Structure 1
Amino acid sequence: MLEMVITAREADLGHGLKVRRVLPYAKRRMVGPWIFVDHAGPVTLAAEDTRAADVRPHPHIGLSTVSYLLSGQVSHQDSLGVHQLINPGDVNWMTAGRGISHSERFKHPDSFAGGGLELMQLWVALPEADEETEPAFTHYPAAGLPVRDEGGCGCA
């Protein structure tokens, strides 16, 4: 039985980069382990404006983020020394644990070209026993991920 419908709200990350945020919501802080559910884009910016949309370094603790890039290009950098270029279809799993700082940067002029940048990001609450775990980052390239074509939808 459907308990409630949550309408996404727009949050401005600055310089034209906006996300539609489903969680958290005033009447529902979490759904299962999910504490944030964001959808960015598709957003297009002129090549000369892409660096202005950079998400500057910021910290996370006690959670993981799962990011799936639908289109565009993003450069991930973090306090573990990871520098990872993210392309469409790639998935990143970043575990903050006891603490990590990271940024998302748009270094390539094509980051917002064509259909624009589009990204899904889900934030996962870690079990209490794992909140102080060592931070980690794992990149899963699209080529290594399973894809299932069901009814012509090309669903992953």
Structure 2
Amino acid sequence: MSELSPETAIALQVDPVSHDLGAFDVRRAVPQPKCRMVGPFVFIDQFGPAQYDIGKGMDVRPHPHIGLSTVTYLMQGAIDHRDSLGSFATIRPGAVNLMTAGSGIVHSERSPQSERDAGGKIYGTQTWLALPDALEETAPAFESVAAGDLPVIEDTCAKARVIMGSLWGVTAPTTCHAATVNADIILGAGGAMPIDADADERALLLVEGEAEVDGEPLALFTLAVLRPGRAMVLRSGSGARVVLMGGEAMTRRHVWWNFVSSSRDRINQAKDDWRAGRFPKVPGDEEEFIPLPDVPKTVSYP
């Protein structure tokens, strides 16, 4: 992680922390001590590209969340989502799943049987968005937006799918609880895409190929937090895939395991509720669960 000079387009570069999940690695850029949030994004994971062995797949057992929305976006593969509201959805490339935890929700994420049978691929991002203060205890909700319902901007050697928010004159139908920008950008050889200055905070994550922003190279899988208030141009000489994330600046949040809140007391209450079995069950996935950890991998106390 390195801070750069005031003249640079990139204000901060954040090297991710990698977690080996067996079949694939998860790279976690946020939260880290010097980068706890980018706009409402309080957690940024990127995984793959990877391929499962035949018969293998993802099995994230039921676990709880409060005070956030999870955003799951795939470039390859498929994941079955189930939650305590009774929602079920299989997310596929180009679609987005938005799960708003609010006062509390439980969900599981598993590979469909068809992916296990074929030795399917997995490649994508999962991010968490902190909810505004007034909505931290909102009723939980889930929505799945199909790839065909997300706007796509195309130009010569450049294509971008808007996952959330308004960008380049179009608006995604995905619910935003706070001003949010999120897009999947694919650049061909010689392709370029403008990065507007409207959002309070913005970051770019290069997940494939090579690219630069205003002439400054992006490092693969490293989060590049951009200088605020400056319009920029993203370019690639040979082709790239880049995820844009950001939005309105928010007051810092406490993060402990899967819980996000402006109040440490609220997080402690969520811990007690999960230990005591007071969260609801996930219909169709009631038998297993992830126990509360003694020492979680994700902690960020401002």
Q: TM-score, normalised by structure 1?
A: 0.89
After superposition, the CA RMSD in angstroms is 1.7
Tell me whether 1:122 sits opposite 2:127 in the alignment.
Answer: yes
Q: C-alpha distance in 2, partners of 1:153/1:54?
A: 35
State how many pairs are aligned: 152
Alignment of 1:3-42 (within 5 A): 3-12=11-20, 14-42=21-49
Q: C-alpha distance in 1, partners of 2:159/2:38?
A: 27
Correspondence for 1:153 among 150, 158, 175: 158
What is the SS of the residue equivalent to 1:110?
A: helix
Give the conservation status (yes or no) of the 8 Å contact 1:93–1:137: yes
Tell me whether 1:58 sits opposite 2:63 in the alignment.
Answer: yes
Which has the bigger relative contact order, CA under 8 A and spacing at least 6?
A: 1
Mark the structure with the bigger radius of gyration: 2
Q: Which runs of 5+ in 2 are unaligned?
A: 1-5, 162-302
Residue in 2 aligned with 1:131? 136
Paired-residue identity, %: 45
Give the conservation status (yes or no) of the 8 Å contact 1:47–1:109: no
Q: Which runs of 5+ in 1 are unaligned?
A: none
Q: C-alpha distance in 2, partners of 1:145/1:108?
A: 27
What is the SS of the residue equivalent to 2:12?
A: coil
AA aligned to 1:19 is: V
Q: C-alpha distance in 1, partners of 2:135/2:149?
A: 27
Deviates more, 1:98-107 or 1:143-152: 143-152
Structure 1 residue 113 displacement after superposition: 4.3
Structure 1 residue 11 displacement after superposition: 1.9
